[in-house]
Amino acid sequence: MSKAVTILFFLLIGSGVSAQTDTAFSLVKTYSGDIAAFTVDNLDNIYILDSRNQVKKYNAAGDSVAVYNDIRKYGRATLIDVSNPLKVLLYYRDFATVVMLDRFLNPVNTIDLRKHNVFQAKAIAQSYDNKIWVYDEVESKLKKIGEDGKLLQETPDFRLLLDKSISPVKIADENKYVYLYDSTAGIYVFDYFGSLRNNIQILKWQNVKVAGNYIFGSKGDTLYRYEISSFLYDEWKLPAALANAVSFNFTGSRLYALQPPGKTAAFQLSVYRLRK
C-alpha cells in the first residue's frame, strides 16, 4: 500500500539540513487512560494497545469503533501493523505468532511462524500485495510468506550479502521497495526481487516511519524528515509541550504524541494539526 504522505507541519524544505523552531501546532484531541502503545493508519484511525493487551480502534473523529478482546492466547503483542486498514496484523514476538484482524478487529487468521521454521524475528510487515514480510534472524534472511504461512520468496543470507548480520526492528513496504531498519546499521533498501539498492545511514532514530518519498523519525528533542530522492533531511525542535513524549507517529495531516502519566496518573495521547 502506498502512503503518499507529506507531514503538513514540515513546511521548510531546504538544501542540506534546516532547523525550525516555530511550533505551529494546534491540539486536535487527547486520549487519556491505559495506553501501552499505539499506531495510526493512513485514514487517521488510531489503534491503542493497553496494558492488558486489548486493542481499541478509534476513527479520525475520536469515536470508538472496534475492540479486540482475545488477549490471553499469545502473551504480549509487540507490533501492530496497519499499513492496510482493512487487514490489521498483530505480532506476538514471544510466540512468533501473527494474528490477522479485519477492519472491525475480528480475528480472521493466525500464523505460527515456528511451524514454518521461523523461530526468531523482531519485525514483520504487510507487503504491497497483502502478504507478509518477516526477517528471519536465525537464517539472516528477509522472507515473504503467504496467509497460510508458506514461504513465497526469500533473499540470500544477509551475512553473505552484507558481510555482517543485522537485526531489523522495523520493516516497511513502500513505493516498490522494502526498507529494513537496524538502528545501529541504518536502513537497507531492497527491491521486490531481493536485490540491495541502498543503505541509508540513519542511525539511532526512534519512531521511524517510511511514508511516500520520506522517512520520518525522532531523536532526543528533535523530529526529522529525510527525503529519499534528494538525500536531504530537515529537523525540527519539539515544542515544550511535547518534550517528554515517549513515542510519536505521523500521518498526512497530523502528529501523534504519547506522553507519560502526569497529575492524572494516566498516559495521554495528543493529536496535533498544523495551524493554517
Hey, which CATH number is domain 17-274, 3.40.50.1970, 2.120.10.30, 2.60.120.650, 3.30.365.10? 2.120.10.30
| 252-261 contact pairs (CB < 8 A, 24+) | 252/3, 252/5, 252/6, 252/7, 252/8, 252/42, 253/8, 253/44, 254/8, 254/28, 254/40, 254/44, 255/7, 255/9, 255/25, 256/38, 256/40, 256/46, 258/35, 258/37, 258/38
Task: Show me where the domains of the chain are located.
Answer: 17-274
- Write the pLDDT tens digit of every residue in 132-189: 999 999 999 999 999 999 999 999 999 998 988 899 999 999 999 999 999 999 999 9
User: Can you tell me the mean pLDDT for 194-212?
Assistant: 92
Q: What is the pLDDT of residue 65?
A: 95
* Spatial separation of the C-alpha atoms in residues 73 and 80, rounded to whole Å: 16
- Give 5's pLDDT tier (boundaries 50, 70, 90): very low
Grid coordinates belonging to 220: 532526543
Q: What is the pLDDT of residue 252?
A: 66
Residue type, 63: D
Q: What is the pLDDT of residue 269?
A: 93
- Write the pLDDT tens digit of every residue in 222-276: 888 899 999 998 888 887 888 889 899 987 678 899 998 876 668 999 998 755 4
Q: What is the pLDDT of residue 12?
A: 30
Q: What is the pLDDT of residue 26?
A: 82
Grid-cell match 499505539, residue found: 38
Task: Specify the higher pLDDT residue, 13 or 27.
Answer: 27
User: Can you tell me the mean pLDDT for 180-209?
Assistant: 94
- Write the pLDDT tens digit of every residue in 21-59: 445 568 888 999 999 999 999 899 999 999 888 999 999
Looking at every residue in the chain, the average pLDDT score rounds to: 86
Can you give the length of the chain in residues?
Answer: 276
